Amino acid sequence: MPDMNGEPTHGPTDETNSDTGPRTDSPTDSGTDSGTDSGTSVAAGTDTPGHRLTAGLTIGNRVVVRYRLEEGEGAAATDFVGELVARNTDFLVVDTKTERVKLIRADVLAAKDVPPPASRAGRPHERVSADDLEKLMAKGWQAVDRGGVGDWVLRASGGFTGRANSVLVVGDPSLPVERAIDFAEKWYADRERPAIFQVHGETGFDATEQPTVAALLERGYVVGGGHDNWQRVLVMTGLSAAVPPLTEQSAPVTADAQLQLDWLTAYGEQRSIVPGATEAVLTGSDGQLFLSVRDPDTNTIIGLARLAIHPGWAGIFGLWVHPDHRRTGLATTIVSAAAMVARENNMPAMYLQVSEDNAAGVAFWRDLGFTVHHEYTYVAKPSA
């Protein structure tokens, strides 16, 4: 959807979204404000089964909503599938493939968040499109400050990680590329941050062939932005069912829904923390778990990972094992625990991102059967 207002295009928003206040058009007659029958339904109350069923839906997620049709239409119910863009006391607003519909919450019969659609044949971790997986992963590592240019997502988080401080170039910016870049550059300049663009493609893709990148190169940007680990990042996916289960010999893994200080301190051993921004990103998704393994002698954390939870997908972030304890199977144990959580919670597919130059990381994931889904790179001015 075109969005030039700088407001978040993804992620949780308030229940009452002023942009999409109640209208009384029925979903089968969207665009007309007749408001007669639907007004009756709204008057039915704000604590109907439909209200309760829709309370847990996540704004920005793909949802399926089973909806009571008005009398006389011949069928009892129909399903709407699309992105939930807003919800208030009485209505849901869903962008389906063909139209934006406003649904009366009291008339909802069933509803749930669902994974991104299949765009090709394959197993659950293979059939998602790269654009959809990128959008999902952005929700698994939610930037503190977010905006939009059409489908592009603008993200800023005080400089904590490239992915939370870059433009996610996906879909259509709804503007000519030069104007979209102008908009993004101003958005970052307003925040005193450099504009960095994250672009993706198939394995081995040549970023310079993309029109957006060509336009950026003209402006003095470079692929990789002068950082070795920004040159090429692999997005790898696998099946949670294919990860080996925990065994009796596995070290105990703790899974905590809350971010604890000692987890954060151990996490700080692998990358610099930006106080405030780091905690906000780590805890900013709709659901996450902080996994850790401790040294039985010192009780200090010697291995950790963060698991982002999505409909149908689990994302692994920040997997790390203390150098003194590597090659003893700890990372495998942590991922086995993560996969167990994924299997138990109906998440057949898993993703992670690893820099191509991280030989140990790539070898580790390949050893577990994960394969490259697509790749991305950053395009930035060398000073960024």
Contacts to ligand COA by CB under 6 A = 270, 319-321, 326-332, 352, 354, 358, 360-361, 363-364, 367
Query: 219, 329 in Cβ contact below 8 A?
Result: no
Q: Least distance in Å: CB of 302 to ligand COA?
A: 9
With respect to ligand COA, which residue has the nearer C-beta, 326 or 381?
326
Q: Least distance in Å: CB of 320 to ligand COA?
A: 4
With respect to ligand COA, which residue has the nearer C-beta, 42 or 316?
316
With respect to ligand COA, which residue has the nearer C-beta, 100 or 326?
326
Q: Which residues contact 89 (CB under 8 A, 6 or more apart)?
A: 15, 16, 22, 46, 105
Q: Least distance in Å: CB of 130 to ligand COA?
A: 18
CA distance 127 to 133: 10
Q: How far is CA 112 from CA 39, 53, 72, 104, 109, in A?
A: 25, 8, 27, 16, 11
How far is Cα of residue 347 from the mean position of the Cα atoms in its chain?
14
With respect to ligand COA, which residue has the nearer C-beta, 189 or 363?
363
With respect to ligand COA, which residue has the nearer C-beta, 184 or 236?
236
Q: Least distance in Å: CB of 314 to ligand COA?
A: 14
Tokens 């200080």, residue?
261
Q: Least distance in Å: CB of 10 to ligand COA?
A: 23
Q: Least distance in Å: CB of 328 to ligand COA?
A: 5
With respect to ligand COA, which residue has the nearer C-beta, 1 or 360?
360
SS3 147: strand
Q: What is the DSSP string of 232-298?
A: -EEEEEEEGGGSPPP-TTSPP-EEESSPPHHHHHHHTTTS---TTHHHHHHT-SSSEEEEEEE-TTT
With respect to ligand COA, which residue has the nearer C-beta, 26 or 377?
377
CA distance 79 to 64: 7
Q: Least distance in Å: CB of 23 to ligand COA?
A: 45
CA distance 286 to 277: 17
Q: Which residues contact 138 (CB under 8 A, 6 or more apart)?
A: 10, 153, 155, 163, 168
